[in-house]
Structure 1
Amino acid sequence: MSISGGPVHDELSVPVPGGDLAVLRWPARVPDAPTVVAVHGITANALAWGEIADRLAGRAALIAPDLRGRADSRSVDGPFGLARHADDVAEVVRTLGLGPAHLVGHSMGAWVCALTAVRHPELVSRVLLVDGAVSFPLPAGVHEDDALAAVLGPALARLSMTFPDRQAYREFWQAHPAFVDGWTARMDAYTQRDLVGTEPGLRSSCVPEAIRQDGREVLLDKEAAAAVHQLPCPAELLWAERGLLNEPQGLYDAARLRSAGLDETRVPAATVPGTNHYSIIGGADGAAAVIDRLLRGAALG
């Protein structure tokens, strides 16, 4: 399948406990190209990596699953949670014969990638963490549901909404503060992949139970929080300058990473100027930075 002239991707399925995980594969187009397994965020899907796949232009094979409870993996049964997703990613690597693999994860996917490396070190050779994986304790008196709603904003609110047609869903996303500076065919394909049902009752494919469980673990799970500090392989963190709603303060900055105890001698960290939480993988500058690190990491082995 190709989107607006972009690179063709294959659609695969990988058996996991509870069903078959949907997996997209953009093949390599050059000899001896590396393979990268890409893991999306909490309410996203595999086409979140479409801009990066397009700009990679076959210099690496890109493998991206829809995590269980999302898009074409929405029918895969629970339990959910970050460890379950990590084991699913390991099964993708194992079943497709990709290991030891380079992993890249965005947002919640970064926690999943770090956990995959810790739980299945024989299957992972290198990890790139993108605006995620470093945890902070909740402030005193802040409930987890309030914290999740504050962080995810419109992305979480849409799970309880219905839309009369696909254009209405497109306009919902185009009004999101993180996307107001531009809209591309790749963004459109990514958001439209999320829709299920029939008009006038279209809705997000995300299974609410999955989002609640995964969100709680991003905020509170000790195993997930510890993973970035226990990585058994080379790793790097890229963080967006701005936040999920394009606000000036991003999820991370140098002071926050120091306060979280990130050892940058083991996990070097760098900001990607001019990006927000979404455009760090979906925009031109962010995609270029991620691709640079992926190909540089592949060259290092």
Structure 2
Amino acid sequence: MTTALETRTRVRGLDLAWIDFGGDGTPVLALHGHFGRARQFARLAADLAPEYRLIALDQRGHGHSDRGDGDFGQDASVADAAAFVRTLGLGPSIVYGHSMGGVTAFHLAARHPDLVRALIVEEGGALNRRPEIPHPVLDVRDWPHRTPTLAELRRQIEARGIPDASYFLESAVEHADGWGLLFDYTDMMRSQEVLIGDWWPQWLGSTCPALLVHGLASAILPTSMARDMANRRPNTVLRELPGCGHWVHSDDPAGFTQVVREFLAEAGIP
């Protein structure tokens, strides 16, 4: 049995928080999506153990990591991830990313192929702009900053059109003046806006084995785009999970773990 270890490491002038879920297995670097944090991967880490050791990073402006200088572009995020992998001596590593983290992951594979042994992208699209993606930005500018209870924070977020706030509440903490979220709303708006773009060159820019996981009920990544991504990139496997939305790893944890394990076995990665 392994014990998760939360720590911070100085990388590129930033204090980046991360969790080592422990074990002696093959390292897997996990990168969360917008509004997420490292601890959301606890279930996945347990399901992949003991063969795989999950190391999850709070990306800049998320969780307990520094926000940096306000640069949330892909250049900064990829440079952070590359420096983190090198600092910990993890490369070449299996790199897994969800949503924004998936985009960062395939950028990392394209720019630093020596650091990425295999790529797992969950719901991270090669094209993130209108009209292909009708709503590339979630407007959080009027979300509550403090509420007296965690239940009230959930109620107010869900009152703004979020059916289930559980994902966002992974970043909820109790402050001296009430409950609030760890991330800055202005930072999150900027981070989403700079992710709008055409990322096809970066998706096609690596050759390592890749798994693309898509939830067939996703409102974020169109099925047609997921299939096009798999068809256009050699050495890529697409797995579509029915009944799952954008957060496949949460909607069907067992199914997600199964497709990850199958992919790694077929790629010959123990």
Counterparts of 1:157 and 1:295, CA distance in 2: 40
Q: Do the aligned residues in 2 keep the contact of 1:240 with 1:271 (CA within 8 Å)?
A: yes
**1:168 matched residue in structure 2:** 152
Deviation at 1:265, TM superposition (A): 3.7
**1:247 matched residue in structure 2:** none
**2:225 matched residue in structure 1:** 256
CA, structure 1 residues 294+256, in 2 after alignment: closer, same or farther (shift >3 Å)?
closer
Q: Do the aligned residues in 1 keep the contact of 2:37 with 2:62 (CA within 8 Å)?
A: yes
- Greater relative contact order, per chain length (Cα 8 Å cut-off, separation 6+): 1
Instruction: Within 5 Å, give how 1:56-205 maps onto structure 2.
Output: 56-139=48-131, 147-149=135-137, 152=138, 156=140, 159-170=143-154, 176-177=162-163, 191-195=169-173, 197-200=175-178, 202-205=179-182
Q: Report the AA paired with residue 109 of structure 2.
A: A
Counterparts of 2:266 and 2:11, CA distance in 1: 29
**1:272 matched residue in structure 2:** 241
Deviation at 1:270, TM superposition (A): 1.9
Q: Report the AA paired with residue 85 of structure 1.
A: S
**2:202 matched residue in structure 1:** 227
**2:9 matched residue in structure 1:** 14
Deviation per CA, 1:198-232: give whole Å up to 9, x if none: 343x3221123432232123222x4x442111123
CA, structure 1 residues 208+286, in 2 after alignment: closer, same or farther (shift >3 Å)?
farther
Residue identity over aligned pairs, in percent, reads: 25
Counterparts of 1:49 and 1:115, CA distance in 2: 21
Number of residues of Structure 1 aligned to a counterpart in Structure 2: 268
Q: Do the aligned residues in 2 keep the contact of 1:28 with 1:61 (CA within 8 Å)?
A: yes
SS of corresponding position for 1:51: helix
Q: Report the AA paired with residue 22 of structure 2.
A: P
- Give the TM-score normalised by the residue count of structure 1: 0.76
Q: Do the aligned residues in 1 keep the contact of 2:106 with 2:203 (CA within 8 Å)?
A: yes
Deviation at 1:96, TM superposition (A): 0.8
Deviation per CA, 1:131-155: give whole Å up to 9, x if none: 1132154229x9xxx8334xx47xx
**1:183 matched residue in structure 2:** none
Counterparts of 1:37 and 1:95, CA distance in 2: 13
SS of corresponding position for 2:54: strand
Counterparts of 2:101 and 2:66, CA distance in 1: 17
Deviation at 1:46, TM superposition (A): 0.6
Q: Do the aligned residues in 2 keep the contact of 1:170 with 1:192 (CA within 8 Å)?
A: no
Deviation at 1:272, TM superposition (A): 1.3
Higher helix share: 1
Counterparts of 1:117 and 1:260, CA distance in 2: 15
Counterparts of 2:157 and 2:44, CA distance in 1: 20
Asked if 1:212 corresponds to 2:189, the answer is yes
Deviation at 1:173, TM superposition (A): 7.0
Match of 2:44 among 52, 55, 58: 52
Structure 2 residues not aligned, in runs of 5+ = none
Q: Do the aligned residues in 2 keep the contact of 1:272 with 1:289 (CA within 8 Å)?
A: no
Structure 1 residues not aligned, in runs of 5+ = 1-5, 180-186, 245-249
Deviation at 1:92, TM superposition (A): 1.5
Deviation per CA, 1:219-274: give whole Å up to 9, x if none: 22x4x442111123221201011125xxxxx6221x33456685154322120122
SS of corresponding position for 1:70: coil
Q: Report the AA paired with residue 257 of structure 2.
A: A
Higher strand share: 2
Counterparts of 2:239 and 2:127, CA distance in 1: 17
**2:21 matched residue in structure 1:** 26
- Give the TM-score normalised by the residue count of structure 2: 0.84
